[in-house]
Amino acid sequence: MEIVFIFAQPVRIRAGSAYIYFSNFNANIYSLTSYPPPFMSSQIDSRKAIISWSLYDWANSAFATTIMAGFFPIFFKEYWSAGADPVTTTARLGMAHSLAGITVALMAPILGSIADQGSVKKKFLSFFAFMGVVMTCSLYMVHQGNWQLAIFTYVMAAIGFTGGNIFYDSLITAVASPKSMHRVSAMGFSLGYLGGGLLFAFNVWTSLSPETFGFASPADAVRFSFLSVGVWWALFSIPILLFVKEPRSEGSFKPGLTFVKLGFKQFLDTFSEIRKLKGIFLFLAAYWLYIDGVDTIVVMAVNYGQSIGFETSDLITALLMVQFIGVPAAIGFGYLGNRIGARNAIFIAIGVYLFISIWGAFMKEKHEFYILAGTIGLVQGGIQALSRSFFARIIPVDKSAEFFGFYNMVGKFAAVIGPVLIGITGVAVKSLGYSADTASRVGITSISLLFIAGGVLFYFVNEEKARTEAQDRYAAKSDENG
């Protein structure tokens, strides 16, 4: 039997598979699955806490939509790399995406371990959000032709965006019970699609009618959009920082190299543990493959559309369709996850994406591209939301930042295999004497392999078994340390 003092008053006694909590001489028994207990988590399933948490998705999705998917790729080619060869600008853009992704992927699990050591998730979230906001606004000041500074500023903003998501994602365990996690996660993605879509639509309007808003040119309107994203991101980040309480850990934050060393040691320990937790390890492997396919479609859609002859206006319209269809679709997937189980709902989404990756090779008409965009909108938010909540339900609650650090690391290494697969396949097909159009179409179908492989691995993941396995292992470690 183990006695642990959580705070000054309450006492936690481990007995078998449950914890007995004593507070003011009143004993209450809570199973491992209900940890943390009510006196530690009064905000669990609180409407105020859930909305405040979800609004951060509304806040930073403006960066994902207006900057990452919308204006930055186009503006980088036409403004910051004006006059450069298209192949060169594509390589530069790919370098920017890869640099940001690899940096965060390497940082994510270590940062998560540090945050869990001293309950400083919100402090790290504040830091990365602030960095993202400042760097996004700074894009406004990058002059035409200065592609080097544009890449640096964008990479730093992207690190702020993805770094903040590590701690935002991990806080879902502080606001949602396992029963409501699918719905809450879906609500966050839904608000993200809506908020990001609304601001993107406004920014598209200003770029198409710059004179209406007092801008001298479309370029000035696009530069202003960078400022609008930064302000939007900062404003709607306030609720999560003010109204979401972070669960306290038994450790304390000690700034300096000592705490970084502790975080790195914890990262190595967690990595070792994940390798032994078959259910969690299998899920992360499956997630890496199928989310690589999803993210590849996100980052390569505009480039693919341009390669087969669609206009920029068509591509922007398609992006807006994905955003606004994604609002009700993400919510719908949340309820679907509760009704038929997240595992089955994720399988449905993987199947739809497999169909999309094959169908995309055969489309020729504009209306087909819009139908494809609408279909992506139906499942994109759903597979992202349910993957996040599925993972949150199988990991130890008090180690959420550590495990979400690995989850986000896997996510950041996504869209690595897919683009390479498309490129290699396209080059191979073209070397056989086929046209560039045919090579591009065959290349896009290659990512179907990622959905097939990811689906096969996910088939072997059992949610209940994975959760029990993690609980039992950490309970045993707790007894050993006691």
Distance set, CA 155 to CA 66, 299, 300 (Å): 15, 15, 18
Tokens 């259910």 belong to 279
Q: What is the pLDDT at residue 194? A: 92
For the chain, the maximum distance between any two Cα atoms, rounded to a whole number of angstroms, is 81
What confidence category does residue 169 fall into, taking pLDDT thresholds of 50, 70 and 90?
confident
Share of the chain above pLDDT 70, in %: 79
Distance set, CA 189 to CA 57, 133, 217, 411 (Å): 6, 20, 33, 16
What are the pLDDT digits (tens) for 259-313? 566 666 666 777 777 888 889 999 999 999 999 889 888 777 766 676 667 777 7
Three-state secondary structure call for residue 36: coil
For residue 58, pLDDT over 60 is answered with yes
DSSP 130-186: HHHHHHHHHGGGPPTT-HHHHHHHHHHHHHHHHHHHHHHHHTHHHH--TTTHHHHHH
Three-state secondary structure call for residue 70: helix
pTM for this model (two decimals): 0.73
Q: Residue 476 and residue 393: Cα distance in Å, rounded? A: 19
- Residue pair 457/289 in contact by the 8 Å Cβ criterion: yes
Three-state secondary structure call for residue 253: coil
What confidence category does residue 19 fall into, taking pLDDT thresholds of 50, 70 and 90?
very low
Sign of CA dihedral 196, 201, 206, 212: negative
Mean of pLDDT over the chain: 80
Q: What is the pLDDT at residue 473? A: 75
Under 8 Å CB-to-CB from 131, ≥6 apart: which residues?
Answer: 156, 157, 159, 160, 163
What are the pLDDT digits (tens) for 59-116? 999 998 899 878 888 888 888 988 777 657 766 776 777 677 777 777 777 777 666 6
Domain spans, the chain: 2-40, 47-474
For residue 159, pLDDT over 60 is answered with yes
Under 8 Å CB-to-CB from 242, ≥6 apart: which residues?
Answer: 52
Domain 47-474: top CATH class? mainly alpha
For residue 45, pLDDT over 70 is answered with yes
